[in-house]
Structure 1
Amino acid sequence: MASVARDSFLSGIRALEDLCAEPIATDMTARGSVLRRGLVVSAYNLLETFVMERTTELLRHAGAGPTQFTDLNEGQRKKALRNMLQVASARVFRGDWDLSSLGHLAGELGASLSPSGGLGLHPYAFLWEGSNMSPDGLRETLRMWHVKSPFEQLRLLSGALGFDILKPLGGGQIDLKEDLKELMQMRHRCAHDSSAVVSGLELRAIPNRILRVAAPFDVLASSGAQHLRVGTSGYLADDDFVSAPSIEIRVIEARSQAWALLRRSGSAAERVMPTVEPLVSLACTRTPDHGVVVVRSLQREVVTWTTVGCG
């Protein structure tokens, strides 16, 4: 089944790209300045929302398999329950909840605290306490999916998917943790300081900066969710089980008037078709459940992706 969270996120990213290209977005007037600040806040919100919604989807997917809560080791069970209660407590006391919403949440948490015959993990077990997702919050979410050294894996996988991870003026590879921290700080300035300045150049780079974190996050978390669903023994025993090198990537690229499924060994085409959808279906049948099929444009920019086991 296709991911609703991913479709919504990519729709938002494309709309953001279009808005960033509008003349008013680079207008050096009060109108342009207000728009740029608003777009920065919206961009970061897109990433936060995607991580939350995709995590919820993946836990639903994992919970539909044979794995039980009791299959997790004691440390994993304790961490999941502790995280869930801490996040729930922080969000309840921070928000203005009505009685109906509190009752609904209490019911959900109660079911998660005493799972009967299922995995029973609430999304709060995987999310962050704060009102906004920090780099450490994203790191902890990926750690709950048993991702080893999360920001290292994000960087490795981001490059493998086709994103540029080199600094534009040299100096080595981009530190995705520092880059996300800069984006979060920019978001906070734009949300709380009406004099914050964002240049047109900074603004146009933001959609890709968001995308090169979101795509590898999805692939790594989906790999963890698939392992959790089927109860892979190595995954259940090892909190560092998921890594970028363990994930098989199949690439489909646009040609001038067609689409090409590339061979694993290089850029030569294994199959060429006039439309992309049949190639995605074909690639999914030839890729393990823990793999990903990525679609790239004529300029080799990432357009979309499908995690084979999780949609």
Structure 2
Amino acid sequence: MPNPVIIINNPLTTNYDNLIKQTIPKIIGSNRLDLLIKCEITNVTNLNDILYNYYNLIRNEINKLNFEDYNFQINIIFNISLDKYRTLIKKWNHIFIAETEQNLINSKLPIPISSINCELPPTELSSSCNKSFKQFNTTAVGGTFDHLHDGHKILLSMAYFLTSKRMIIGITGNELLKNKKFIEVLESFSVRKQSVINFLDIIIDDNNLRFEIYEINDICGPTGYLPDIDSLIISHETLKGGEFVNNYRRDIGFKELDVTAINIIGDEDSNEKNSWRGKLSSTDIREREMNKLKKFNSIDF
């Protein structure tokens, strides 16, 4: 399927909403859109704001065209090398860029380039957070990662951003998920694991960094038995889980973890009602998959 990309320069100083809104109608027929950020992001809170805002915006614009297409894949890519850029170019079939930023790319690239005439108003992202790119040697992050969605991608992206050497990823085992809603369409562990790997292959650009995937069969997962972890990345909705992990580690003589709580979209454990149509959790997606299955099974062949 076609794989277009929007390339932007600096979302720390420039608002690209108009570019995205004008581009989305031009990619009808695609099932994936990448957004590449050219400037380097160095602050963890700034990155969180960027990811949250642009995953949110793109999903909303996609839903305006086809609300049922919740499987449309969005990938926001940042802090990449020239070699990684050259690899990604081979997978893109069309580049969209603001007319005022055409100089960011080589006009002789062997794929179509569309320059969009749009206003790019200034913006300003400020942060008091002092956590930076690759700050921790080893980080941990966990979740169900069922029907991998935008919120999962933000969580994994933030963990990658903070990691310099080793990224520990815990994926909830099937036994702990047996009471989940719409269990009939919950993806198997192997499918969820492969979805995580596929996404990380898109965004990771560091030969010195390795990621390891573990099955979670209790509350702590690998943070409960791997001592050499420095940091835990969680959503704001699971702060209590982070406290539990650190209490457990302290009780067994492990060092406590630095905890980074971030904003994500569609958190399954959030008590807040979805405030916009695109804010899908894994439960929301499973419900839609279940309804599709029921509809299919009701057809008299």
TM-score under structure 2 normalisation? Answer: 0.25
Question: Which has more strand, going by share of residues?
Answer: 2
Larger helix proportion of the pair? 1
